[in-house]
Amino acid sequence: MLAANLDARAYLDRVCREIQRIDASQLETVADLIERSYHADRFVFVIGNGGSAANASHLCEDLNKCTLRDFESQKRLKVLSLTDNTAGIMAWANDEGYDRVFLEQLKTYASPGDLVLAISGSGNSPNILKAVEWANAHGLITVGITGFGGGKLKEIAHHNLHCPVDDMGTAESLHMVAFHWLIGDLYRRISGPAASA
């Protein structure tokens, strides 16, 4: 745990350095993919465990609401966080195994051309990998959002947003920094330059 070995100033300075290591072109590609999904009326699914589940919920809420200017008549981005179906997750986990909790939801809701944003700090979460493998095999577009070395997710996802820091909490924080840029950029793209001004 990075923060356990640094005082507050040193920790904040380290996080700033780690932000500088994020590949901006990867982040811009994710924005492009979400915008394409919006225009094509495709679903965007977000998945993650633990802190990444909380980030998935947060990102989903922001994509759903904070990309809009006109709440009454503007076209909406179709986005679902599959971390939020608590009863469904528990049923699949209890009866068939936790490694199937996202895969089975994708089987229910997803169609070819939809987008999956898969968040895993380690890149090795079995339920994330199963979902991405299924999505790849069924014509969905996949993005791996990772920390550490990226794990297997970085290898199998079509696209990546990788934050190469060897600390889970910091990786999760960097993901949220990136996600908040995404929201602002997509607000500009979807609601127009006048809205962002």
Phi, psi (rounded to 5 degrees) for 3: -70, -20
| Of the candidates 72, 38, 1, the residue with the CA atom closest to the CA atom of residue 185 | 38
Give me the domain span that covers residue 132: 2-196
> pLDDT at residue 193 above 70?
no
Total count of domains within the chain: 1
Q: Report the pLDDT value the prediction gives residue 2, as an integer from 0 to 100.
A: 87
Provide mean pLDDT across the span 17-26.
97
Provide mean pLDDT across the span 172-194.
93
125: CATH: 3.40.50.10490
- This prediction has a pTM of 0.96
